[in-house]
Every structure is written in C-alpha cells, then in structure tokens.
Structure 1
Amino acid sequence: MYEHSGTHPADSTTPADRTGGGGTGGGRSPLRRTVLRRVLPAVAAAGIGVAGFAGFAHGSTGGPAAAGTKLSRDTATTSATTSALGSARTARAADAGSIRQTAAAADFPTWGTRWAVHATADVDSPSVGMINKTAPGQDRITADYQVDTGRKVCEGSACSTFMAHLTGPVTGFLSVVAVDIPQDRLPGVPVQGGGGHPQPGGSRQEALNRAATWLTADNGAQVPYSQAKVWKDGYRQDCSGYASMALGLPTPGTNTVGLATDRKLTRPVSLAELKPGDLLIDAAGDNNNRHVVIFEKWNNDAHSSYTAFEQRGGHGTDHRTLTYGLPGGDAEFKPYRPVTFGD
C-alpha cells in the first residue's frame, strides 16, 4: 500500500481560495510615500494629535478598503507642529544614512504602531507578536529574507506585496509597509519562496531546483512533513505545500484538490506526455490519503517507473523511484501539467 501523506486539513472539504487581494497603488509618487512614512512617525512622537492619521498602524489588505482602514493609535494629543516637522526633516536625513549603512546587515527602522507579525507570509495568518516603534527595542527590525506574496498591502500611500521574515525583535513575517523605507521591498535582502502569482513560461528546471532545496533545507536534512506547520519560506510542509513551493505559487500553498481542479494552475495530460516538473495527483478521498508528487524523469524506456520529488508523511522531503499512476501502480494518481510552463 502506498503511503499517501495528504495535504492541508482544508482538503477535506473544497479547495481553499488563496487568490491575492487587490489594492491600488494609483499614481502615488515616491516622494509622497517617503514623506508619509517618515514624517508621520516623527509627528506622532512629538505628541501631535493623530486623529487625522488613523489607519497607519497595522497592515491591511489592498483594494478600495485599504486606503480607508481606520485603526487606533496610542499617542497622546499635545502640540507644536512647526517644531515637530523640523524634527521630522532631521530624522529623515539621519534615517536615510542609517539605511545605507545597515542594509547589508538586513537591519531597518520601523514606523508607526500596532503592526502585526504573522506566522506565515500571509496577512491572514495568525499573529505571533506585534511591532510598536515606540516600544523599547522595537524601533528597528532585522530580516534575513522576504517573500513576494502577490497580495498588495497598503497603508495610506505606501503599498507593497512583500513580507519580510524577521529574526528580531519578533520572529515571524511582517509587511514591508511597516518598515521606514521609501521602497516597496527591503533593499539588499534576498527574495525567497517564489511567492506571488505564477508567471507564464516558468522554467521546468527552476521548479525542480526549488524542489531539491527542501532535501537539505533543515540544516542539511530534509524538511519534516507536517499538515499544520509552515517552513521558513512560508509554505506548508505537506505534499501540496511542497508542490506549490516548487511551482512558485502563493504561500502557504494550494491544496491537492486545487492543484488538480484549478485550470488556472494545471491541466490534465496523458502519462506519455509527462515532462520534468509535471505533477501526478491523487485528489480523491480525504486529507489522509490525497497526495501529489513532482515528476522528474522516466527510469527506463518501458516507462515502468519514474523518479519524483515528494513530501511524504513519516519522512519529509524525498527524491525516489515511484510507480504512482502507472499500470500496476496506484491508479488513482492522474498526470497534470502546470500552466506556468507555457505548454
């Protein structure tokens, strides 16, 4: 009996809707974005009333509602607009130099209050902590990589699809709009995980290369299997999360049913048509027996077995010989071609 390591618990119902939210960047200029993201924190720090600035405290999904998000702040109302703006200009100059000096160390200033740090590279994932610029030790964050989620988050005129993986002061994922920089992504910080929407004409070899990274990603060992946990690149550690990672689909990954039925992602092919990077999927049953593997190559001219990448229960990431979907093998597996390959 073949081991079907299953997928996310959502597989027990219908495919999860993981399409990214919208959001409008509009014609907002870099200058206006810089002013808002640098001056407003300084104004708040000086004690000026912030009732007119509500909505700059926490990441929110894009779209028409994003610009109008109203979230509370804890700053008291006092005085001195002219003095505050003068201080803000001084702070802007100092911060600009600081960013240039610290970008190589992935260290950046934060801005605003009440920024949620999320468990995964998804603004809808659970919060694991908060960032508050005014709290001790939280005026700067350190990030080791960032993920392009393909889902825009906006606060005022500042928008970004990127979420940074923080190593301090809180570990987790933070929207880049919470960072006091004029860019929409962290300069000098590597982008990992291939989050965002699949791009037409994606390379089969790139997908296989990404699949291979999980064989040694856990300090030289394979990524452990889990239907509940996500790996540090933001993808679920089950079979469909793994396949989503290899294909560069949005984090935390589409479930097995979605990989088989969403024609924006895959289309059925015959066994004879299988090429490197194609999928073999068993989408029947529940989350305990659904499974997906990534085809790499035929092992012989008779096509009696093939080599595939797989994320399986009780083991984790694997690269081995399989017969799923072949005559004499498990007939519930069907071959599918990711549309990202363009053929």
Structure 2
Amino acid sequence: MYEHSSTHPAETTTPTDQTARTRRRRAPFRRTVWRRVLPTVAAAGIGVTGFAGLAHGSDVGGATTGGLSHDSSARAGSVRPAAAADFPTWGTRWVVHATADTGSPAVGMINKTAPGQDRITADYQVDTGRKVCEGSSCSTFMAHLTGPVSGFLSVVAVDIPQDRLPGVPVQGGGGQPQPQPGGSREEMLNRAATWLTANNGAQVPYSQAKVWKDGYRQDCSGYVSMALGLPTPGTNTVGLATDRGITRPVPLGELKPGDLLIDAAGDNNTRHVVIFEKWNNDAHTSYTAYEQRGDHGTDHRTLTYGLPGGDAEFKPYRPVKFGD
C-alpha cells in the first residue's frame, strides 16, 4: 500500500510521408512551422525518440499515416480565436498520454483521421521541463485535456503562436502556482508542503495508480519525486535508494532538512520513503517529516522510522542535488 513499482513503456514514432504533404500559405499570426520527415531529422543528429510525445505517424494500434503541414489551409475555414480553455489543433494523429510524460501510455488520439478535426479543452497545464519540438515550434508544456479525450497532450499540437496555453493555469486548477524544481533544501520542503493543501485545501489523497494535477503519482515515491523536481510521473522507492544520480547513503546522525529515510526492501506494499525535516529534540529520539501514506494522503508529522526502537528497515539518504 505504499509505493508504485512499475514503469511506463516508452512510445515510438514512425516517419511521415514527405510526398503526402503539401505546403500552403500560412496565416500571418501563427507560428511558421514546417513538418520535417523524421529520417532527415535523424540524419541531422536528432534521435527519433525525441518525437515520442508527438507520434504523428503512430496509432495506439500501430497503424501509420502521413501528417499535414501546420497551416490554415490544412483545415476548412479560418481558425477562430480560442475561448478560455478551448483551442484549435493542427496536423494529424497526436497522441494523448496518461500522464504529463511523453513516455507514458497512450490513452487516445486527436485529429485521428483529418488535420484539425478536433478542438481541445484544457483545465490546466504542466511544465515538464522536457522540450518537445516540431519544426521551429517547441514547448515544454503538456496540457491536461478534458475533451475530446481525457489525458495529457503536448502544447505543440495546439494551433497557437505561444509555447503554452494562454489563460490556462499552470499545474493546478484555480490558478494554483506550480512548484518549480530547485536545488535548495528549502525549495524542496516548500514543494513537499504544497501537497498538504493542494486538494482544494486538503491533502492530496494516496494512490499507487493515479497521478495528481502536476503529473506525479500519488504514492510515497511519486510525492518525493515531485519534491525533488524529478521527471514525471516519478521514480519508485528502489530507484530513490539505489540511483546514485539521485541519492547517496549518509549516517543517521547527519540527517539534514530534505534528506530521505527509505525502506527499499520487500514489494510495493511494504516499501516506503519519507522526507526528513528536523529533529524534535537533542536526543534525536524522533523527527518531523513529510510523508505520503496510505489511507491518509499527504502528512506532516512526528516519526521514528529508522531510529533505535523504530522500524530498522529505513535507511538515511541524501539527495545529491544538494551538493553536500
């Protein structure tokens, strides 16, 4: 009941057919974008996997078709200005993902049979920190769609001149500010605290299967990944303990704010991780920590995991991003 242990398979894309596309005059207010055939891009040194979030030439079932250029004449009529959360799209066969991660499973597709066939509605967007480009247009943002398919879509698929959706909150409904990745202990603890009230003033509920509005899993390791600013949807508890690009072991007595106590043994029903904030006394008999726990959700409470008389399976680790 503690943490998620599975990983999402990465998507692949297939080349579009250069001869199937036509070049047309573009409306002056839109981004000027030319669709490139993927082998040409790959020859220039850009891997095909860099387009995993686009997948214009792939379907959930594996069928392929060619795409069309990002221009006004690829659709019938002119593009009307976007309403508050209603936007036009361009091109064909854009994959909608399960989470704000281009490597997460596909849950649907927009413009499946025609360019600009679907308009999308979105209630928030996530800055993933991972750039997706198509031609000269790039964005690190993924929009959370409420229609016509529920899921996450790269903002590059939206027919707007910006790299993000105008007027749509970033990483949280109601304009809730996005906790930005940072390198300091204070910033990490501040991000951890956001989940205490992120659910309309209440804590984020626990789940190994669901992701929160910021794209992170709602289990303990997803929560810690969010606090550390790791890529969505987050690594698992074993990864937090064993990946030396993320943490390193430290002595128990040297714990500092933002360090972790991790039980990486057993399975996803027994493994757990918490974020150390401070010692509660000079004798170090308890500490205050941030935690995402089953049957409760996000918590900020006194713990003894890893201390004498407490659960000995928990070991102390220090995020290497702190540089000490």
**1:97-136 to 2 correspondence within 5 Å?**
98=81, 102=83, 105-132=84-111
- Equivalent residue in structure 2 for 1:215, among 196, 215, 221: 196
Shift of the 323–18 alpha-carbon distance from structure 1 to 2, 3 Å rule, reads: farther
Cα shift at 1:181: 2.1
- Equivalent residue in structure 2 for 1:338, among 315, 319, 322: 319
Q: Which residue is 1:50 aligned to? A: none
Q: Which residue is 1:185 aligned to? A: 164
Amino-acid identity (%)? 77
What is the distance in 2 between the residues matched to 1:117 and 1:86? 23
Matched residue SS, 2:278: strand
1:327 paired with 2:308, answer yes
Shift of the 278–91 alpha-carbon distance from structure 1 to 2, 3 Å rule, reads: farther
Cα shift at 1:235: 0.9
Q: Relative to total residues, which structure has the larger helix share, 1 or 2?
A: 1
1:64 paired with 2:57, answer no
Q: Which residue is 1:295 aligned to? A: 276
What is the distance in 2 between the residues matched to 1:106 and 1:205? 34
Q: CA RMSD in A?
A: 3.8
> Does the 8 A contact of 1:18 with 1:250 survive in 2?
no
> Does the 8 A contact of 1:310 with 1:319 survive in 2?
yes
TM-score, with structure 2 as normaliser: 0.74
Matched residue SS, 1:259: helix
The letter for the 1-side match of 2:228 is L
What are the superposed Cα offsets for residues 72-101 of structure 1, whole Å, 9 maximum, x if unpaired? 44899xxxxxxxx8958x978x66xx25xx
TM-score, with structure 1 as normaliser: 0.70
- Equivalent residue in structure 2 for 1:243, among 224, 238, 252: 224
Cα shift at 1:291: 0.7
May I ask how many residue pairs the two structures share in their alignment? 285
Shift of the 133–284 alpha-carbon distance from structure 1 to 2, 3 Å rule, reads: closer
What is the distance in 1 between the residues matched to 2:72 and 2:264? 62
- Comparing 249-258 with 272-281, greater Cα deviation is found at 272-281
Q: Which residue is 1:313 aligned to? A: 294
What are the superposed Cα offsets for residues 231-251 of structure 1, whole Å, 9 maximum, x if unpaired? 222111111001011111111
Shift of the 271–144 alpha-carbon distance from structure 1 to 2, 3 Å rule, reads: same
Cα shift at 1:219: 3.3
Cα shift at 1:70: 6.9
Cα shift at 1:306: 0.7
Structure 1 stretches lacking a partner, 5+ long? 11-15, 22-30, 41-52, 56-61, 77-84
Matched residue SS, 1:34: coil
1:162 paired with 2:137, answer no
What is the distance in 2 between the residues matched to 1:149 and 1:232? 12
The letter for the 1-side match of 2:248 is R
What is the distance in 1 between the residues matched to 2:229 and 2:67? 41
What are the superposed Cα offsets for residues 188-237 of structure 1, whole Å, 9 maximum, x if unpaired? 444338799x65xx232222222222223333332222222212221111
What is the distance in 1 between the residues matched to 2:72 and 2:279? 68
Larger RCO: 1 or 2 (CA < 8 Å, sep 6+) = 1
Regions of 4+ moved over 6 Å: 67-70, 133-137, 193-196
Structure 2 stretches lacking a partner, 5+ long? 13-27, 39-44, 58-63, 173-177
Cα shift at 1:146: 2.0
What is the distance in 2 between the residues matched to 1:9 and 1:321? 26
What is the distance in 1 between the residues matched to 2:116 and 2:135? 25
